[in-house]
A = this chain, B = another copy of it.
C-alpha cells in the first residue's frame, strides 16, 4: 500500500516555514508499513493543486494533504480535492454545531466565511478538530482510494492524524515496517558501501541503505512484514552479517542511540559503579 504526502501552502514555497508536517507524516506512515514514494508541496493555486491531486490519485492508494482548510479565500484544499474526487460539498450538521459552539465559547463573531468550514465532501469520514475550527476528513474516493485532508497547524494536525487517521490506515494496511540502524564509526561512506555492495545489489526485503552523517555512516536495514516480529526476523540476519563485516566499528543498531550515549554507558558500566563521575563522563553527560 502506497501513500503520497501533499503539503499545500505558498508560505512553504516561500521558505517562511520548515515543513515539519511532512517529516512527521512520513515517519508515522513508515512505521505503519505504508510506503511513501512522493512528497509534493504546492501553493494555494487551484489548477496546480488539482493537477497534483489527480496525479496522486493515479499513482498512490492514499493521499495525505495538509493545509488549506482555513476559512479564507485562499484556502482551497477541500474544494479542489472534492472536485478531483468527483464529489459535491454538503453541510455537516455536527461540524456546524461545533463551529457555532467554538465561536460562542470564545465570544467572537462568526463571519460568513467561517461557514464554509462546516461543508464536507458527500462521501467522507469527518475528523472533528479538538484544537481548531477546521475539521479534517477522509474522502472515500474511487477504487477504494482515500484522500485525507488535515489542517496545516502542527498542533491540530498531529493529534488528528494520530488519534483519528492512524486507526483508519491500520485497518486498510496489513503490513508494518521495522528498521535497524547500524551506526558505524571511523569509516567513510564509500568504503562502507564498497564492502556491502553485494548486500545492496541483491536487496528487496529487507533493504539496506547507507547514509553519510558527520563522522559516521548509518546503514538502515528495513523489512516489511505482517507483524513487527516477522519484520524483525527478516532484518536480524542482515544486521548480524553487518556485525561480521564491520565488528567493533558498529557502536549501536538503535535509531535513538548516539555515540555519546554509548560512551557514557560504557564508562558507567566499567569504571564508576556507585562512585563519583569521572571527568570524561561528566563532560559527555553535559554535552549529551
Residues of A within 8 A of B (CB): 10-20, 22-30, 36-45, 48, 52, 70-74, 108-114, 133, 153, 179, 188-191, 193-194, 197, 200-201, 209-212, 220, 222
Contacts and interface: CB of A to CB of B under 8 A. Distances in A.
Nearest to A187: B108
Contacts of A73: 193, 197, 200-201
19 contacts: A10-B209, A12-B39, A13-B38, A15-B28, A15-B29, A15-B30, A18-B18, A18-B20, A19-B19, A19-B22, A37-B48, A38-B42, A39-B40, A39-B41, A40-B41, A71-B189, A73-B197, A108-B188, A111-B194
B43 A37 contact: yes
B17 A23 contact: yes
What are the 8 tightest A-B residue pairs by CB atom distance, in nearest-first order? Answer: A15-B27, A15-B26, A72-B193, A71-B190, A39-B41, A18-B23, A111-B194, A13-B36
Contact of A71 (B14, B18, B153, B193): B193
Contacts of A111: 190-191, 193-194
A5 to B, nearest CB: 8
Contacts of A71: 189-190, 193
B72 A190 contact: yes
Nearest to A40: B40
Copies of this subunit: 2
Given A194-B111, A200-B72, A39 B13 contact: yes
Contacts of A20: 18
B70 A189 contact: yes
Contacts of A14: 26-27, 30, 36, 179, 220, 222
